[in-house]
């Protein structure tokens, strides 16, 4: 496969790069580079507001809802430059997940009420899918929503809910019918997170972050108008949501940016007076990762070039998720390996210091390495993804 960017796309890249250089606040970029988890809410709102005023707030949305009419290649260029600039990729739960579902299946009232505040960054969202006994197999979820007049009464528990402690709203999968097969009894509902009966309890993750949460719902009353689409269609909407962005599951932009940090680290660390980057053993390790990441990038570009070809789309998403999550672990492991004893420093001790006694690349790298250990679990466990590939691509 031979891929070249058209001259007009290269010109677009320069426009995006210059805009980020001129408009991304340095303090926000610094905190994004460290990788604080979760990112500061004020940082996200400030940066999303800047992008929104430029008209770039939601590159992947349809134009009639505030998106831009970019080709898949230009969306790819935009995301690549965003990560290279250490800009915050706001709103996985908001812009990338609940919004496409609302655009495709939501009522006109839901679109008019929620899409503008998602686009501006005014309201944060969280995703309430996983439960203590329903992670990769969401069909086992037990949280119920019982219709009582014009309201649903929700009871149950969610876990690993990212950003729930910051979110104004959440989109939840709930069981509205227990008399049909498990997948058919699930519905998709929007819940205001300060509704009486909701308790959010942070989960402190291994690197010290507070981005994950348990959410307890005790007789939470939600207006019937907050149910998205038809009752019992939540499973279908969730599959649509998870497969909407076919290439983001590869973590390509994160992996490319972090591999460049590996090179930065290896240029700064010395071994017997020689930069680590120039030592044969490390150069071999780096070359292997670079080669595999290049193969992943070409796979993503091929998917972009064939965006309208939906053959085995679910298998493609799973394959990119497998390769991308494993690559995320390899890249962050290489960072820690390159730093040696410096890797003992974590971002929570370092991010406020302006007079560092260690190189600027140190803070946040070990935390990122630890977070990446979960990349083969969240968003669909590795084993489940391989089963999907086997079934859909090979008929096994």
> Could you give the residue numbers annotated as active site?
245
Residue 276 in contact with residue 338, Cβ under 8 Å? Answer: yes
CB atoms within 10 A of CB 15: 13
DSSP strand E in the chain: where? Answer: 125-128, 144-148, 151-158, 169-175, 186-192, 198-203, 212-223, 270-271, 274-275
CB atoms within 10 A of CB 69: 8
Q: Cα(360)–Cα(116) distance, rounded to whole angstroms?
A: 38
Residue with tokens 């014009």: 150
Retrieve residue 260's tokens: 């460049």
- The number of residues making up the chain comes to 396
Q: Partners of 175 in the beta sheet?
A: 144, 186
Q: Cα(80)–Cα(255) distance, rounded to whole angstroms?
A: 10
Q: In 3-state terms, what secondary structure has residue 292?
A: helix
* Distances from the Cα of 90 to the Cα of 59, 185, 240, angstroms: 12, 32, 20
Among residues 162, 157, 165, which one has the least CA distance to residue 133?
A: 157
Q: Cα(75)–Cα(68) distance, rounded to whole angstroms?
A: 9
Q: Cα(337)–Cα(11) distance, rounded to whole angstroms?
A: 37
Q: Cα(190)–Cα(12) distance, rounded to whole angstroms?
A: 37
CB atoms within 10 A of CB 209: 19
> Is the torsion defined by CA of 154, 157, 160, 162 positive or negative?
positive
């Amino acid at each position: 496969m031979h891929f070249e960017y058209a001259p007009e796309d290269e010109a677009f890249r320069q426009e995006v790069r210059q805009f980020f250089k001129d408009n991304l606040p340095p303090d926000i970029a610094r905190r994004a580079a460290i990788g604080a988890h979760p990112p500061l809410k004020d940082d996200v709102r400030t940066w999303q507001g800047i992008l929104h005023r430029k008209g770039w707030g939601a590159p992947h949305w349809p134009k009639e809802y505030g998106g831009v009419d970019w080709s898949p290649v230009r969306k790819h260029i935009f995301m690549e430059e965003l990560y290279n600039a250490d800009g915050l990729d706001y709103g996985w739960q908001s812009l990338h997940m609940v919004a496409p579902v609302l655009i495709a299946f939501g009522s006109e009232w839901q679109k008019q009420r929620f899409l503008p505040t998602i686009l501006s960054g005014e309201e944060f969202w969280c995703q309430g899918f996983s439960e203590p006994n329903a992670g990769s197999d969401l069909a086992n979820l037990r949280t119920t929503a019982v219709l009582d007049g014009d309201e649903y009464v929700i009871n149950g528990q969610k876990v690993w809910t990212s950003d729930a402690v910051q979110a104004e709203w959440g989109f939840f999968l709930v069981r509205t019918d227990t008399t049909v097969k498990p997948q058919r009894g699930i519905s998709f509902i929007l819940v205001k997170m300060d509704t009486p009966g909701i308790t959010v309890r942070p989960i402190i993750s291994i690197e010290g972050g507070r981005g994950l949460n348990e959410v307890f719902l005790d007789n939470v009353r939600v207006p019937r108008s907050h149910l998205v689409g038809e009752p019992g269609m939540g499973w279908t909407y969730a599959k649509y949501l998870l497969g909407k962005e076919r290439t983001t599951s590869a973590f390509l932009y994160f992996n490319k940016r972090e591999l460049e940090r590996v090179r930065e680290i290896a240029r700064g660390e010395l071994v017997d007076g020689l930069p680590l980057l120039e030592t044969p053993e490390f150069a071999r390790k780096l070359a292997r990762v670079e080669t595999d990441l290049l193969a992943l990038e070409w796979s993503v570009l091929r998917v972009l070039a064939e965006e309208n070809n939906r053959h085995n789309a679910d298998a493609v998403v799973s394959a990119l998720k497998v390769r991308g999550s494993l690559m995320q672990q390899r890249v962050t492991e290489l960072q820690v390996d390159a730093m040696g004893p410096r890797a003992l420093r974590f971002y929570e001790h370092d991010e406020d210091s302006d007079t560092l006694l260690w190189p600027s690349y140190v803070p946040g790298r070990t935390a990122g390495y630890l977070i990446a250990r979960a990349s083969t679990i969240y968003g669909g466990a590795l084993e489940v993804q391989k089963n999907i590939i086997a079934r859909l691509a090979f008929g096994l």
